[in-house]
Structure 1
Amino acid sequence: MKPTVIHLVGLTLGLFIGILTSKFELTSRMYIEIWRLQTVHDRNNRPRGTEGLPLGLIVPETDLYQRRLWGDPSEDLPDAPSRYLVTFTVGIKQKELVNKAVSKFPANWTILLFHYDGVIDQWDDLEWSKTAIHISASKQPKWWYVKRFLHPNVVAPYDYVFVWDEDLDLENFDAEKYIELVRKYGLEISQPALGPSDREPQWRMTKRREDVEMHNSTQEREGRCTSPILPPCAGFVEIMAPVFSRKAWRCVWHMIQNDLVHGWGLDLNLHRCAQPGYEKIGVVDSQWITHMRVPSLGEQGEIRNGAYAWEEVQSRCLLEFQIFNGRVHDALRSETASLPHV
């Protein structure tokens, strides 16, 4: 009997040890696999070139908040830093118009001026200009600047980014009420409606309607729209005064072509960055502006072959429009060709 009892005890003990060993091996393999997956995840989410840095030291984003040269860095910013970035591309000839425009925005919003004429010092007599950010490059238009200085990781702290021209009259515009309406209607890309002027807007979509707060569709001239839910009948704003959410701007920035500086053609493709465009893109009617159509940037062109400077700029715009449309067509065709055939 004794050998039988001993055998049973040994068998039970062996079985128990085997189970423990198996569980330990299984748990070990599980933890090793989790560690491996986490390592792969960390490696894939590292910015390129940071492999030698510990993950906790990597700071992939920045901002345009101005800081002090002294004191505790944690005390540099107010408790509620600006969540809105307003940019104008300007020349000194439109100083008065820009000054009036900036006065329509709250003092704690971030103002950034891109100077295409190289003149900065002559803005110093304006109080707000002393705390604004100034970037200057001679004869460069708006979309050249934003591609180079408004990377999504730079403007990440801002809920909304205004990318505006200089020749806008904002007498009937309230920035805070505008943002309220943008949030109310869930707009990712928007613009204020264009009020009455001596010329009709190029696109009916941007013309102000007096009976609504916001609209996101229109009846365009015959032949302009391939679909009632596509630009320019819906999902459309112009490039003179667009406002982008943080999410939309991350997409739009990547669509801006590095060598195409005038932005022609972007407006007809913005819907790709806020889908569905016929819901997420709209024109705010109750906060409206007037486009003064001052051709000052055209004066920065070069006189060639007897043509006026502005004519050369216009020719470049048209050429860029053709190039951009060609790239859109080729990219979509390539994307379609890469899809699996069923």
Structure 2
Amino acid sequence: MKMKASPVLTTLFAGAVGFFIGVSFPVDITPKLQCGILPWSSSFSRNTMLGRLWGAPFRNSSSGTPNATGSEPLVEVATARNPVEGAERRLPPGIVVSESDLHLRRLWGSPKQDSPARKYLLALAVGYGERANVNATVHKFSDNFDIVLFHYDGRTTEWDQEFEWSKKVTHVSARKQTKWWFAKRFLHPSIVAPYDYVFVWDEDLGVDNFAAEPYLDIVRRHGLEISQPGLDVTKGPAPTYYITARKNGSEMHKTDAGGEHCSDVGKRPCSGFVEVMAPVFSRDAWRCVWHMIQNDFVHAWGLDSNFWRCVDDPEEQIGVVDAQYLVHHAVPTLEGQVKACQYEEMFAFRSRVSRADKEVANGTSIQN
């Protein structure tokens, strides 16, 4: 006589086999199925028999330590995010260094014992023929300055042979390039970020009546973000813009309005103006000016007429320091077809500025 299996027993047997197969090959499906009515949810204590039997296959034993209630977290989510937007976002934020400087460092010893970057930066475009004047200029700047020389004639090693200080400054060489070409490529705001003030000077300046630290004292006292030393018009050629001429008996001035050459204080260059010859920028002002330097231009003619855009109040934050002044020797280093290029760049720059202003105005009118 054949025994027929009871349908009930068959069903129970199949369920038991399926259960133990599931226990042997657990799959973490809790993120998709987590719900308050399921046995592995918080409504079922893991200490109950049903909770232990049902929850074990689905609980990730490596998910962390129990919390205050005694239950283990089912899913851990990483919360640390790198706020950097570029490719460096792949790095942990704590290792990202977004700024640098032009301070020289040793190849030996502990990095902790290296001297830090200085408070200020002097950048000079130089040729070896003007080395005597450059030497005099460098000695007017204290040990609080890092110095970078931009060599437009390709001669660098000779400086070390003649001047001891040359071995302690940074040298950058590119033949037949201008100060502003160098500045765009080597004075990026992230590179000059440690410096409170940046001097971007020509090489042909007489400095007998100038000292950098007293100059900066005046700049701070008057809240100047962009400035230059006054020019002694009794020695050297007449200035291109009379606002830059030194005023006798004055510590500093911010306007030439009302004088022989300027009648309107609101017009450049009657106020809020310094030249590209020997400007001094605060860190914040330089960040703005650097972005205004056109990468495909080299002479920067017309740039100084737009320095006012890089401060909040040009009539108050741009000025000429009279108590510390210079003589412009006007040594010609660029000749021939260069002059035509300078004018072409200036007109092109004016056109770009005008077009950019119109784009902003049109965008504003659309928004309004």
Q: Which has more radius of gyration?
A: 2
Please tell me whether the aligned partners of residues 229 and 322 of structure 2 are also in contact (alpha carbons under 8 angstroms): yes
Aligned to 1:218: 256
- After TM superposition, give the deviation of residue 65 of structure 1 in Å: 1.5
Give the Cα–Cα distance (whole angstroms) in 1 for the partners of residues 109 and 247 of structure 2. 51
Please tell me whether the aligned partners of residues 220 and 232 of structure 1 are also in contact (alpha carbons under 8 angstroms): no
Give the Cα–Cα distance (whole angstroms) in 1 for the partners of residues 362 and 249 of structure 2. 46
**Root mean square deviation, CA, Å:** 1.9
Give the Cα–Cα distance (whole angstroms) in 1 for the partners of residues 119 and 330 of structure 2. 29
- Residue 238 of structure 2 aligns to a residue whose secondary structure is coil
Please tell me whether the aligned partners of residues 47 and 60 of structure 1 are also in contact (alpha carbons under 8 angstroms): no
1:149-168 to structure 2, matched below 5 A, reads 149-168=186-205
Q: Can you give the 5+ residue segments of structure 1 that lack an aligned partner in the other structure?
A: 1-34, 299-309
- Residue 125 of structure 2 aligns to a residue whose secondary structure is strand
Aligned to 2:139: 103
Q: Can you give the 5+ residue segments of structure 2 that lack an aligned partner in the other structure?
A: 1-77
- After TM superposition, give the deviation of residue 220 of structure 1 in Å: 7.5
1:314 aligns with one of 339, 342, 345 = 339
1:119-198 to structure 2, matched below 5 A, reads 119-124=155-160, 125-195=162-232, 196-198=234-236
Aligned to 1:14: none
Alignment CA distance shift 1:215-1:224 (3 Å): closer
Q: Which has the higher helix share?
A: 1
> Aligned pair 1:76/2:89, yes or no?
no
- Residue 95 of structure 1 aligns to a residue whose secondary structure is helix
1:57 aligns with one of 78, 82, 95 = 95
Q: Deviations over 1:113-161 (max 9, x none)?
A: 0000001111112011110110000000000000000000000000000
Give the Cα–Cα distance (whole angstroms) in 2 for the partners of residues 198 and 60 of structure 1. 43
Q: TM-score, normalised by structure 2?
A: 0.75
- Residue 113 of structure 1 aligns to a residue whose secondary structure is strand
- Residue 337 of structure 2 aligns to a residue whose secondary structure is helix
1:80-91 to structure 2, matched below 5 A, reads 81-91=117-127
> Aligned pair 1:116/2:152, yes or no?
yes
Q: Aligned residues, how many?
A: 288
Aligned to 2:363: 338
> Aligned pair 1:205/2:205, yes or no?
no
Aligned to 2:315: 278
Give the Cα–Cα distance (whole angstroms) in 1 for the partners of residues 205 and 198 of structure 2. 17
Question: Aligned letter for 2:112?
Answer: S
- After TM superposition, give the deviation of residue 222 of structure 1 in Å: 8.2
Give the Cα–Cα distance (whole angstroms) in 1 for the partners of residues 137 and 230 of structure 2. 15
Structure 1 runs (4+) greater than 3 angstroms displaced: 220-225
Identity %: 48
> Aligned pair 1:48/2:86, yes or no?
yes
Please tell me whether the aligned partners of residues 87 and 113 of structure 1 are also in contact (alpha carbons under 8 angstroms): yes
1:66 aligns with one of 104, 107, 115 = 104
Give the Cα–Cα distance (whole angstroms) in 1 for the partners of residues 85 and 243 of structure 2. 40
Q: Deviations over 1:286-328 (max 9, x none)?
A: 00000000002x1xxxxxxxxxxx1311111101100100000
Alignment CA distance shift 1:134-1:220 (3 Å): farther
Give the Cα–Cα distance (whole angstroms) in 2 for the partners of residues 261 and 325 of structure 1. 15
Which structure is higher in RCO with an 8 Å CA cutoff and minimum separation 6? 1
Aligned to 1:245: 282
Aligned to 1:94: 130
Question: Aligned letter for 2:308?
Answer: H
Deviates more, 1:118-127 or 1:246-255: 118-127
- After TM superposition, give the deviation of residue 51 of structure 1 in Å: 2.3
- After TM superposition, give the deviation of residue 69 of structure 1 in Å: 1.3
Give the Cα–Cα distance (whole angstroms) in 2 for the partners of residues 52 and 112 of structure 1. 33
Question: Aligned letter for 1:109?
Answer: F
Q: Deviations over 1:134-193 (max 9, x none)?
A: 000000000000000000000000000000000000000011100100000010000000
